[in-house]
């Protein structure tokens, strides 16, 4: 990214400013990092009630089969992701990964079956590259549109369903990863019961022209607080969820990243449609034999947060390097520092003691199960 290019704004930019947000550049956008309440209160409020996030910077892509048969779009997309897209029922969504020929991860994304098309949500920093990648490989079979006329918000937390049920009663019948269309304040929205905080919640795609109005009305509910990128990061880290560019990238494979669960049986060796995605040989090989390193949760034994980039060692003298932290900070709900990173496979068992280099000291950490909180997804 050219540092001098002007920052883009989401359809909710004016709303953020009116709410007193502190704005920072993120993935080319001028985004709220926190509101006056601050990261700690925003984080805890999301887990206790409901937090509203602007995620309009993310890419929303429509993938429409030229044949009119959704199966053709699903099979086409399967050539780019190690995911069972064909088996995804209408009105359902699942997590996926774009892989490259070396088995690395180009991006992570959400894939929804919307009946006559697939609806993808991809990371802001990757959306132009993802769209070019899709055009190049699927342009013959699918019509692709990168939507530039829709905002995306997330309402996350235990009260999210009750808040939105006041606008659309049927929302309570949705299950985790269901996708539906409904009118909120007379505006047609695409709603999924999903998010990136570890909480029950929803992501809502809204036409840009109505986005500020709908969002302001949701914010009027006493249980709802606006939440910035700062708390979004600590919430997703406690939930054990990866940040693309930190925890996963082209240098990490799905098996190293512990994403076996995201590669359904149909795409594995012995499945109905094994392989057939970029890097399949490497990835399925690692699936069978294991990778030499793996992403794990890390809990610092002391109070000092251990941040991304900290080198990890098997010993307290820093003689035997075994990996590095990829995300780390303080977990306000866990009430202790939390981190994740990659370590050599011999050190991945929960409870293993390792050491992180922080300001010239070697601080003890324990390999810990992810997530650090108990998710409340309504499965």
Partner 1 sequence: MLKFTDEHEWLKIEGDVATVGITAHAAEQLGDLVFVELPEAGTALDKGATAATVESVKAASDVYCPLDGEIVESNQAIVDDPSLVNSDPQGAGWFFKLKLSDPSAANALLDEAAYKELIA
Residues of the shown chain interacting with partner 1 in the complex, contacts defined by CB under 8 A: 33-34, 38-41, 43, 230-231, 233-234, 303-305, 307, 329-330, 332, 337, 359
Nearest distance from residue 305's CB to partner 1, in Å?
A: 5
Which CB, 330 or 372, lies closer to partner 1? 330
* H-only helix segments in 116-159: 127-138
Q: CB under 8 Å to 270, separation ≥6 — which residues?
A: none
Which CB, 32 or 332, lies closer to partner 1? 332
Nearest distance from residue 31's CB to partner 1, in Å?
A: 14
Which CB, 41 or 217, lies closer to partner 1? 41
- DSSP code, position 163: H
Rounded Cα distance between 31 and 124, Å, is: 12
Nearest distance from residue 302's CB to partner 1, in Å?
A: 9
For residue 44, the SS3 value is: helix
Nearest distance from residue 234's CB to partner 1, in Å?
A: 5
Nearest distance from residue 22's CB to partner 1, in Å?
A: 9
Nearest distance from residue 361's CB to partner 1, in Å?
A: 10
Nearest distance from residue 359's CB to partner 1, in Å?
A: 7
Q: Which residue has the tokens 């560019």?
A: 245
Helix, strand, coil distribution of the chain in percent, nearest 5: 25, 35, 40
For residue 294, the SS3 value is: strand
Nearest distance from residue 266's CB to partner 1, in Å?
A: 40
Which two structure tokens, joined as six digits, stand for 352?
């293993």
For residue 238, the SS3 value is: helix
Which CB, 146 or 304, lies closer to partner 1? 304
Which CB, 234 or 282, lies closer to partner 1? 234
Which CB, 240 or 329, lies closer to partner 1? 329
Q: Residue 155's closest CA among 205, 224, 208, 209? A: 224
Angle between helices 39-48 and 229-238 (to 10 degrees): 50
Which CB, 4 or 303, lies closer to partner 1? 303
Rounded Cα distance between 331 and 340, Å, is: 12
Which CB, 37 or 122, lies closer to partner 1? 37
For residue 258, the SS3 value is: coil
Q: Residue 223's closest CA among 196, 201, 190? A: 201
Tell me the backbone φ, ψ of residue 192, rounded to 5 degrees: -120, 145
b/e 264-276 (16+ beta carbons within 10 angstroms → b): bebbbeeeebeee
Which CB, 208 or 246, lies closer to partner 1? 246
* H-only helix segments in 228-296: 229-238, 280-289
Nearest distance from residue 301's CB to partner 1, in Å?
A: 13
Q: Residue 47's closest CA among 242, 369, 333? A: 333
Do the beta carbons of residue 198 and residue 241 sit within 8 Å? yes
């Amino acid at each position: 990214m050219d540092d001098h290019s002007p920052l883009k704004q989401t359809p909710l930019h004016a709303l953020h400013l009116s709410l007193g947000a502190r704005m920072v550049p993120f993935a080319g956008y001028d985004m709220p990092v926190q509101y006056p309440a601050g990261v700690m209160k925003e984080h805890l409020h999301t887990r206790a009630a409901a937090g509203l996030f602007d995620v309009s910077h993310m890419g929303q892509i429509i993938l429409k089969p030229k044949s009119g048969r959704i199966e053709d779009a699903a099979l086409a997309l399967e050539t780019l992701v190690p995911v069972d897209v064909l088996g995804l029922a209408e009105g359902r969504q699942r997590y996926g990964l774009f892989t490259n020929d070396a088995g690395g991860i180009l991006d992570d994304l959400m894939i929804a079956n919307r009946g006559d098309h697939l609806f993808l949500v991809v990371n802001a920093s990757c959306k132009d590259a993802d769209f070019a990648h899709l055009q190049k490989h699927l342009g013959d079979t699918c019509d692709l549109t990168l939507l530039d006329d829709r905002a995306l918000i997330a309402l996350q937390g235990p009260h999210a369903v009750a808040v939105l049920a006041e606008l659309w009663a049927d929302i309570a019948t949705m299950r985790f990863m269901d996708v539906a269309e409904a009118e909120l304040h007379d505006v047609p929205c695409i709603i999924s019961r999903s998010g990136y905080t570890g909480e029950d919640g929803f992501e809502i795609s809204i036409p840009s022209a109505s986005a500020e109005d709908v969002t302001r009305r949701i914010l009027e509910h006493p249980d709802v607080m606006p939440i910035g990128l700062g708390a979004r990061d600590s919430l997703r880290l406690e939930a054990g969820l990866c940040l693309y560019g930190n925890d996963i990238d082209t240098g990490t494979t799905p098996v190293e990243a512990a994403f076996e669960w995201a590669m359904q049986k149909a795409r594995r060796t012995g499945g109905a449609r094994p392989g057939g995605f970029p890097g399949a040989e490497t990835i399925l090989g690692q699936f069978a034999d294991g990778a030499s390193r793996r992403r794990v949760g890390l809990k610092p034994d002391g109070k000092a947060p251990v941040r991304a980039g900290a080198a990890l060692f098997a010993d307290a003298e820093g003689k035997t390097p075994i990996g590095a932290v990829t995300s780390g900070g303080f977990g306000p709900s866990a009430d202790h520092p939390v981190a994740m990173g990659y370590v050599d496979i011999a050190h991945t068992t929960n409870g293993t003691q390792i050491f992180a280099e922080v300001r010239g000291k070697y601080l003890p950490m324990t390999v810990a199960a992810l997530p650090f909180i108990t998710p409340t997804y309504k499965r």
